[in-house]
């Protein structure tokens, strides 16, 4: 029994510690962690459904059990939500708000960015982003795709064809022959095809660079050996 209590306490502690402290820039991450934690702890009932009708003398046992479950969910959810908020932020919501869902909504109103501001930021990032040629081109394209998916949730649609062209135009000069090859084709690439071909092209360029470096090194070594041989021959001839 004691072992189970220790395990449960450790599990609860781990869940609570996974929630970051809310600050001015991490509201989305903070809220996601709150919802996941409460869901894993089976305490999210009060966030999913409204408050049930107050109990009366005529309430059934099932109604009483459900109300008690909802009330427990609400109380603990509110405590956990407040735990992840600095005390200076808690004052932004009236103490009269005792419903966990309402409290979370009030916090969201004060921290969530306006749609217009977020759209502007995402579009600026999307159109100005450039691949440096260093790193992982697959990750770069997936980052661009993620921006498009975020814009879609804000009712801004960017087609896959446009995404493919934007990505290609953002690649460095080393990819110019690759881009010319694509523009000469009749067929359009899907996002998955773009990723596959870009990865292959980057691997090919890395391989060529390695081979060129090896060839240059080999030629340099041969030059040094030839120079040493000439010096030895000259020395052997004497004055």
Asked whether residue 102 falls in the same domain as residue 139, the answer is: no
Res 34 pLDDT > 90: yes
Helix, strand, coil tally for the chain in percent (to 5)? 70, 0, 30
CA torsion sign for 201, 160, 158, 154 is negative
Structure confidence by residue, pLDDT tens digits, 90-125: 777 888 899 999 999 988 888 776 778 889 999 999
Mean pLDDT of 26-33: 89
- Judge whether 238 lies within some domain: no
Q: Which of 86, 111, 136 is the last residue of a domain?
A: 111
Compute CA distances 74 → 91, 104, 156, 213, 235, whole Å.
Answer: 19, 11, 36, 65, 95
> pTM score > 0.85 for this model?
no
Asked whether residue 99 falls in the same domain as residue 170, the answer is: no
Asked whether residue 6 falls in the same domain as residue 52, the answer is: yes
pLDDT band at 140 (very low <50, low <70, confident <90, very high): very high
Domain count along the chain: 2
User: DSSP of 160-209, one letter per residue?
Assistant: HHHHHHHHHHTS-GGGHHHHHHHHT-SSPPPHHHHHHHHHHHHHHHHHHH
Q: Share the mean pLDDT of the chain.
A: 85
Q: Residue 13 half-sphere exposure, CB side, CA atoms within 13 Å?
A: 6
Structure confidence by residue, pLDDT tens digits, 52-96: 999 999 999 999 999 999 999 999 999 999 999 988 777 778 888
Terminal-residue alpha carbon distance, the chain: 99
Which one of 7-16, 190-199, 209-218 scores highest in mean pLDDT? 190-199
Asked whether residue 102 falls in the same domain as residue 120, the answer is: no
Mean pLDDT of 192-196: 96
- Judge whether 76 lies within some domain: yes
Asked whether residue 87 falls in the same domain as residue 137, the answer is: no
Asked whether residue 14 falls in the same domain as residue 36, the answer is: yes
Structure confidence by residue, pLDDT tens digits, 145-184: 999 998 998 889 999 999 999 999 999 999 999 999 999 9
What does the pLDDT read at residue 186? 87
Structure confidence by residue, pLDDT tens digits, 197-238: 999 999 999 888 776 655 655 556 555 566 566 556 665 665
Whole domain around residue 193: which residue ranges?
Answer: 115-233
- Alpha carbon distance 226, 123 (integer Å): 59
Cβ–Cβ < 8 Å for 206, 133: no
């Amino acid at each position: 029994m004691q072992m189970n209590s220790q395990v449960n306490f450790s599990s609860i502690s781990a869940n609570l510690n996974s929630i970051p402290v809310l600050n001015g820039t991490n509201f989305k991450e903070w809220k996601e962690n709150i919802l996941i934690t409460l869901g894993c702890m089976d305490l999210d009932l009060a966030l999913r459904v409204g408050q049930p009708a107050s109990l009366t003398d005529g309430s059934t046992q099932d109604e009483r059990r459900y109300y008690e479950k909802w009330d427990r969910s609400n109380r603990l959810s509110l405590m956990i939500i407040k735990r992840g908020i600095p005390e200076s932020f808690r004052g932004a919501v009236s103490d009269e708000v005792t419903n966990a869902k309402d409290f979370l909504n009030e916090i969201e109103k004060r921290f969530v960015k306006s749609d217009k501001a977020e759209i502007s930021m995402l579009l600026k990032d999307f159109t100005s982003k450039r691949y440096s040629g260093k790193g992982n081109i697959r990750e770069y394209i997936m980052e661009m795709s993620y921006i498009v998916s975020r814009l879609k949730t804000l009712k801004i649609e960017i087609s896959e064809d446009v995404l493919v062209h934007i990505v290609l135009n953002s690649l460095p000069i080393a990819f110019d022959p690759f881009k010319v090859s694509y523009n000469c084709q009749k067929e359009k690439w899907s996002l998955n095809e773009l990723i596959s071909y870009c990865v292959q092209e980057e691997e090919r360029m890395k391989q060529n660079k390695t081979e060129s470096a090896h060839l240059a090194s080999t030629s340099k070594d041969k030059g040094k050996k030839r120079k040493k041989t000439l010096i030895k021959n000259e020395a052997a001839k004497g004055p």
